[in-house]
Amino acid sequence: MAIFTVIIGVVLGLCLLSTFLLRWNEMKYKKKGLPPGTMGWPLFGETTDFLKQGPSFMKNQRASYGSVFKSHILGCPTIVSMDPELNRFILMNEGKGILPGYPQSMLDILGKSNIAAVHGSAHKNMRGALLSLVSPSIIREQILSKIDEFMRSHLLNWNNQIIDIQEKTKEMALLSSLRQISGTESSLLSKEFMREFFNLVVGTLSLPINLPNTNYHRGLQARKNIVRMLEELIDERRRSQETHKDMLGLLMSGVENRYKLSDEEMIDQIITILYSGYETVSTTSMMAVKYLHDHPRVLEELRKEHLGIRERKMAEDPLNWNDYKSMKFTRAVIFETSRLATIVNGVLRKTTKEMELNGFVIPEGWRIYVYTREINYDPCLYPDPYTFNPWRWLDRSLETQNYFFLFGGGTRQCPGKELGIAEISTFLHYFVTKYRWVEVGGDKLMKFPRVEAPNGLHIRVSDMPK
């Protein structure tokens, strides 16, 4: 009996304490003019619900509080905007004091000149320098042949193998970028670089507490090692005085760009290119393979497009710009994959001063989660939104509509969009013309907070019959 009373006492005590903590946290963030919403637990906020329930958490909050609500996620008081019009406004108005709001760990590890850490004229300079490296003419003249050469060798000897396509597309995204950055030296660098780079990526999404054996510590260490490798490469090139037709060569010569970057800026720029194109390109490629496997009619149409290109060429001819430009259905498959899988759920911003948005008053320093995921499933934009239907993208106006946020929008719209599409298209070209594949193992796919296959996505590959 006594034990029973103690248990009831403890349970009641915990209930009271929980109610008190939740109320206290609500009061702490009770400010006139803020949007409705809940703030969860002190310190942790609603992070656990957000990560566990993902999109349903967002939809439930929207059902209760409307398309703009407050929450406390990933360590910060946050305004979530699921309002397409407001999202567009935020992306277009960086100048009004809405800057990128990425986590501290990411800024520390990617470097203080990385593009997400700078704004105003510094952003203009870094972005201008980057755009000049990945312009359509540079892709046509220099990059496409490197991508082509890389994809051919990366896809060699997959016949009769069980391949983890997640692992292969990750390696592909990193090593293909490395080849574009430092053409001739990349194969010497790649092994050590890859190990460090994977630690760097994990570190960017960690708690920024620098203790041994933490992901953050390993990430900082990886950054140091990568910086050292790049510094050595730059020194070596200066000593040899050879000219190189690759991204580092262009950056060092400064000819393509009015603003000449310092060595530190060049290194942060290179890390930015590698980082920004890594998960986006690899995950889209993996998911394209998944959707093509599940939709034989789409695969047939895609293969027809690529076999048509091969028929016009000799077996060893590389893809050229006209081939790439003719891949209309492939582009549609890439957009549809990106939309249906929602490779990017949204982007993060923060306020640099108190401001009014949609009639609400947002305090200085709050994070804004420009959550674009739901737009991908809006039946007015995409009829029958849960069906994988690349044909919808053949109407090119879909790519230019106001709420096309697959690559962000406004002043920070993805500068690597065409490069990313060219990489995935080239990968698909060699993959579907060389091979057939079936899935093995029924691997699990996670859709939130990022799209990934926790145990890999395994396929059995065989040569296409001649």
Residues in a beta bridge with 100: 349
Nearest CB to ligand HEM, comparing residues 67 and 425 = 425
**β-strands 367-371, 76-81 pairing:** parallel
Stretch that binds ligand HEM, among 21-29, 184-192, 352-360, 401-409 (CB under 6 A): 401-409
Q: What's the CA gap between 335 and 341, in Å, rounded?
A: 10
Single residue of 181, 419, 428, 457 touching ligand HEM by CB under 6 A = 419
Give the count of residues interacting with ligand HEM (CB under 6 A): 26
Please say whether the beta carbons of 270 and 185 come within 8 A: no
Single residue of 77, 219, 390, 416 touching ligand HEM by CB under 6 A = 416
Stretch that binds ligand HEM, among 28-36, 222-230, 271-279, 395-403 (CB under 6 A): 271-279
Number of residues that this document lists for the chain: 466
Q: What's the CA gap between 86 and 351, in Å, rounded?
A: 14
Q: What's the CA gap between 279 and 44, in Å, rounded?
A: 27
Nearest CB to ligand HEM, comparing residues 130 and 333 = 130
Nearest CB to ligand HEM, comparing residues 34 and 289 = 289
Stretch that binds ligand HEM, among 14-22, 37-45, 143-151, 279-287 (CB under 6 A): 279-287
Single residue of 158, 193, 407, 437 touching ligand HEM by CB under 6 A = 407
Please report how close the Cβ of residue 60 comes to ligand HEM at its closest, in angstroms.
Answer: 25
State the residue number with the nearest CB to ligand HEM: 416
Nearest CB to ligand HEM, comparing residues 218 and 412 = 412
Nearest CB to ligand HEM, comparing residues 21 and 92 = 92
Non-local (6+) Cβ contacts of 188 within 8 A are none
Nearest CB to ligand HEM, comparing residues 40 and 249 = 249
Tokens of 335: 């957009």
Residue 275, classified by CB atoms within 10 Å of its CB into exposed (0-12), middle (13-18) or buried (19+), is: buried
Start-end of H helices in 241-385: 247-253, 263-294, 296-311, 321-325, 328-341
Residue 283, classified by CB atoms within 10 Å of its CB into exposed (0-12), middle (13-18) or buried (19+), is: buried
First to last CA, the chain: 80
Single residue of 206, 276, 351, 426 touching ligand HEM by CB under 6 A = 276
Is 76 annotated in some ligand binding site?
A: no
Please report how close the Cβ of residue 327 comes to ligand HEM at its closest, in angstroms.
Answer: 15
Single residue of 261, 281, 302, 319 touching ligand HEM by CB under 6 A = 281
Binding flags for ligand HEM, 344-363, as an x/- string (CB under 6 A)? x--x----------------
The footprint of ligand HEM on residues 119-158 (CB under 6 A) is: 127, 130, 134
Stretch that binds ligand HEM, among 160-168, 247-255, 410-418, 447-455 (CB under 6 A): 410-418
Please say whether the beta carbons of 215 and 226 come within 8 A: no
Residue 284 sits in the site that holds ligand HEM (CB under 6 A): yes
Tokens of 224: 């140091």
Please say whether the beta carbons of 68 and 362 come within 8 A: no
Nearest CB to ligand HEM, comparing residues 122 and 414 = 414
Q: What's the CA gap between 176 and 103, in Å, rounded?
A: 27
Please, what sign has the CA dihedral across residues 42, 104, 79, 342? Answer: negative
At residue 22, what are phi and psi to the nearest 5 degrees? -65, -45
Tokens of 17: 């304490």
Nearest CB to ligand HEM, comparing residues 200 and 406 = 406
Residues in a beta bridge with 224: none
Tokens of 383: 């009829």
The footprint of ligand HEM on residues 62-121 (CB under 6 A) is: 100, 115-116
Q: Amino acid identity, residue 162?
A: I
Cβ neighbours around 46 below 10 Å, total:
21
Nearest CB to ligand HEM, comparing residues 38 and 114 = 114
The footprint of ligand HEM on residues 222-251 (CB under 6 A) is: none
Q: Residues at the annotated binding site for heme?
A: 414
Interface residues with ligand HEM (CB under 6 A)?
100, 115-116, 127, 130, 134, 272-273, 276-277, 280-281, 284, 338, 343-344, 347, 406-408, 412, 414-416, 419-420
Q: Residues at the annotated binding site?
A: 414
